[in-house]
Each structure stands twice: as C-alpha cells, then as structure tokens.
Structure 1
C-alpha cells in the first residue's frame, strides 16, 4: 500500500484532526511527521499546549496512525524533512494547509499530493467493532464523560484494555448537565463517542441511555461485562452496589499518567 505522510504539530488534538487522520488513512498507512516543541514555536510563534512526548503518545494511540516520526527541524513547512530509510508516496494535507509551494514540491519529488476538503471531514462516523483486536475472554466496561479527551484517558484505556476487551460508555449530554451543571458537556455526545472510538485500545464505544451515576446500566445489560473498571475519581457507592448486586468484578485503578508524561485532568483543560 501507499505510504502516506502528514505533517504538523498535532497539538491539542480534537475531532477535526482525528477525522483528517481517518480520511488520510483511507489511502494507506499514515506516517505522522510530528514537529518538536521548538519547531512548533518557530512555525506558529507560540509554545505547544502539550509537549512532543505527550502528543506522540496520543497519536500512537489512534487507530488511524501507523507510525509517528518525531522531527526536530522543519526549515520549510512547504516541504517534508528527510527521514532516513523512509520516503512517502503521498503527502496528505487539510484544505486550510494547501499551498502552491507544497504542490510544486510534491511534483518535483514524484509524490502524489492530496488535499482533504473541509466537507469531507463533517460528521462523526460510527465505526464497526474492530476485528483486528485479539480475543480476550473477559469483557471490561468503563464509563465517563470524556469531555476533553487527553493522554490520561488514553492511559486509562490502555490499562483497562489489559484486563479484557474494552467497551466504553460515554455519558449522554442531558445526564452530564444533570450531574455536572450548566456548561457541560463542552463537546456533544456524538463527538465524544467518536473520539473515544478512535483510540486503538477501545473495542467499542457507546452512548449511555440511562440517568444518574449508573446511566450506563442499560448498556451494561446488553454487553454483559465481567469487569467494571473505574479510576479513583470515578469510584462511586452506586457503582459498587450495582456490581455487588449483579456479580461484576469492580476494579479501581489509580490515576497514573504514562511514563514521563504529566498528570492531566479535563477540568483543568476546560477551565471549569
């Protein structure tokens, strides 16, 4: 298959960037040229919100990314820096990054140049259940808001996926407003479900249909998991009682970022 290159800072990744990577992956394995913190500052004039190591960790967790190549120098943003032993056949860019100079560069290098139009990125496709994950005997369910998906969530999914096939139930908008108050959620339920489903550790992401702290009860009845996993913040008496009544193993994990990465909380990222 064609080797596909995309390039940029990929800082503070949200659904438009994930949708772009999803569309790029339709052409072949996506290789991300990930700018260093210094390159981001040089090209944009501001420091990245997240350090390169954290941006790389998040990108590598996306099922649409084949490989991440950290780059420490980008003399010209309209050209791809050379990476030893790797030469892409196609450079894919979003519409707002399309330039005549990029087109000329690709023509001079014998590369295919592809622009993803804005209208191609609309909506949040519902993915099928991935078939490339190994079969694990136990089913694991986690629930939450995931209103600003970050590296801490990715690490939580990574740890819980080690216990079995991971199903994530995302809280629906109305229930989050009920539990958390005005201004919540920041992102609508379909968008939050889409981002969660893009993480390679997740077998399936669903939207809850119940209410209260056990808003995922209807989905649990359908999935019939063996384990209900939460982090320390998500440990609630209602969840413990439900698991005791239904014979589910209840697992509480400590909040631990991936090695070398900072602790993240959605509240701090949102600002409320």
Structure 2
C-alpha cells in the first residue's frame, strides 16, 4: 500500500486532482488518465538498464517521472487502486502477436477490479494500462463487443485456458489479443523470469527495439525507432523522424517521456543507436 504522500504524488503524476471514493466513475477516470499520461515503452530495456518489476519499485519509477511496460504499469496501477480501496486481483496472461497462436504464458500481467453495483451485485472489470494501444476505458468482464474509437474490442471465452477469458484487439491493433487465466496470482514472483527474458535475453523482442506507445480518447500514438505513427478514426499518419532534436521533441511533447534519468551523452547514444537500426531497416526494405 502507498503512503498518503505517495498516493497524492501518483495521482498528480497522472493528472488526477484529488482522492475520491472507489466508485466506477472514478475507476474510469483513473484508467483514462493513466493510459494518456504514462506510455508503454521499451526505453530502459533498449538502453540496457531495465528497471525492477517489484511493485514498490514500479511505483517509485512512476513517481520519478519515468514509465515502463506491462509489468511496471499494471503492477504500479494495482497498488494505486488497492491504496484507493478497490478490490484488485492479479492474473497470468499472454499476448498473442499477429500470426501466432493464443497463449497464457505469464508474459503479461492481467488485472481485474471487482465492484459492487447499485443492486449490490458484483461487477468485474478488465483493467489494463500496460498494453499501449489497448482499451482507453475499463471493459466489463462479460462477453460482448466494445467500441472505443478508433478500435473495437471483443471479450470472449478463452480457447486456451478453462474458465479463462480473452480480450480480442481490433484487427488494426498492434497484436491479435490477450488471454487470461482465472486463477488469482498473489504477488509478482510468477512474472520475474518473464521480465528477465524480456529485459536481458538476446531472444527478447525488445532488446533491439525502441518502442513507445500511448492511448488517448480518439486514438493512439506510437514511436517505433524513427517512425512516429498517429492513429485516429480517419486513419494512420506516419512521420519519419530525421534528427535528434525532433526525436526528443516527439518523445517529450507527445508521450511525456523526457528521459529524466538519462544524461546528455546517454541520450545521444540512444539516438545514434535508434538511427543506425532505422537505417538498416530501410536498407532491408529497399527504402
């Protein structure tokens, strides 16, 4: 649980002015603010200085004006929600990239919040602030189609784990979907080997990929190396970033990522490596 000072600092970090009772409306407000102000990113992994996914350290990461990926973001958000009085459960989950099969492999941390509605019946909500272009608002843990422009999401029964559920992404999204196991996980230990793989293994998809994403009310933004993609209802606009000052400006102004714990030399080295990988990619694609 957070101290009151940490709690207020976290809320300030995501642009929430005050502490309120743990209602459905406040849950929605918190979720939207979190995905708008804290991007999903591989910055620290790409830089070779991955942050711990210990819940307390993930909270401190955010309080110190940094961000992370699913384990950091959902982990810290679970602490925030519990500190505000919400009933939160943790679940093993697995992201399905396009062209692969569904899986529940603990490479993603899932969250469910259980609320009592006006009829004093339990309502369960899928909460996920750790998937970049995933839902802007919580989704009912109930089969259905949910339109959150510019994406449409589906909640269905999982085909890979008994009594589990699946969140299907829009076909235009960055991956196919996520499957969740129903059993409750009580701490972060289950996910530490997966984080170690993501952050240190030569086979990790993030070691050589500078990627940062965030969601907002009408779309999403992504910076993949030197390519900035803006998705809105009208479509996708892509911009090639050609110099360091523009790259840093997009990071700061669009994603709120100011690389506060990186020295000037480290920022220069990050840009040079991003640029080299981008040029190699252009050559391999005949650009």
TM-score, with length taken from structure 2: 0.25
Could you state the TM-score of these two structures normalised by the residue count of structure 1?
0.26
Q: Which has the higher strand share?
A: 2
Larger helix proportion, structure 1 or 2?
Answer: 1
Which structure has the bigger radius of gyration?
1
